Amino acid sequence: MVESSPPWDSKKGKTTVLKEEPRVELEEQVSFSPRVLEENLPKAYKPPAIGEYDGSKDPEDHLHKFRNAALLHQYSDVVKCRVFLNTLSGSTQKWFDGLPHGSIIYFQDFKTTFLHHFASSMKYQKTDHCLFALKQGPAEPLRSYIKRFNQVAQDAPSATSEILMSAFSHGLVEGEFFRALIRDPVKNFDEMLEKAASYINVEEVQVASRKADKAPEFVINPERRMPQPPAQPLPRARET
């Protein structure tokens, strides 16, 4: 094979040396595959207002918020990958940068890897026994007890409606609502909460009425006296 000689400049009588063009640096490697990077964002794209995930909270809660936002905006699978990345912050961004190059092809890959890595931050799912440990305080309002009970019930997804009814009534104090449940049993837990709403209204009206009865009464005197000037001392008789 004959090597090509450098070009000859006839005017200057010497060969010209071609300058090497600067090399273009390769694009930084990312964990997304070319399939995820090629599709453009929608024209009317707006980032979802779900907050950022820093690794300290339950990853499933963050994924549920993102899923609802993705359904609202109708993100495609590849767009979901890139948008979800922008909801990560702090150490979670560094975790993503450490994933193998091109390993995320579908959003399911991203989701599975995300949940597996942050599994230690997931909420502990409470058992049904935690519900039976709840008790209404002797002077606790019914509204407050229902709020506490529902907060614990959210972390016990395996509890059925029958278990919820049994645990809720088990922790009630023996008041009017407790006796009403015995006289007229309900069919499910939702019906029990609806029935409790009427007793909550009566209870709060009674509390407000008792407070009004204890309020001190102020007597207002319509006749307001004008302030009197201080009494002047009597003049002393002149000494002779």
The predicted-structure confidence for 193-216, as pLDDT tens digits, reads as follows: 999 988 888 888 888 877 777 766
The residue behind tokens 């278990």 is: 163
pLDDT for the residue numbered 220 = 56
- H or E element that contains 62: helix 59-73
Reading the block at residue 50, the tokens are: 């779900």
Q: Residue ranges per domain, the chain?
A: 34-121, 128-208
Reading the block at residue 77, the tokens are: 């699978």
pLDDT in tens, 95-135: 999 999 999 999 999 999 999 999 888 876 667 788 898 99
Instruction: Report, as an integer, the average pLDDT of 155-184.
Output: 89
Q: Is the pTM of this model over 0.75?
A: no
pLDDT in tens, 20-66: 444 434 456 789 999 999 988 888 888 889 999 999 888 999 999 99
Between the CA atoms of 142, 161, 61 and 114, what dihedral angle is there, to the nearest 10 degrees?
A: 150
Q: Report the alpha-carbon distance of residue 30 to residue 27 in Å, rounded.
A: 9
Q: Report the alpha-carbon distance of residue 141 to residue 221 in Å, rounded.
A: 40
Long-range contacts: 169-177, Cβ < 8 Å, 24+? 170/132, 171/132, 171/134, 171/135, 171/136, 171/145, 172/136, 172/145, 173/136, 173/137, 173/138, 173/140, 175/142, 176/202, 177/142
Q: Which CATH class is domain 128-208?
A: mainly alpha
Instruction: Report, as an integer, the average pLDDT of 155-166.
Output: 87
Long-range contacts: 174-181, Cβ < 8 Å, 24+? 175/142, 176/202, 177/142
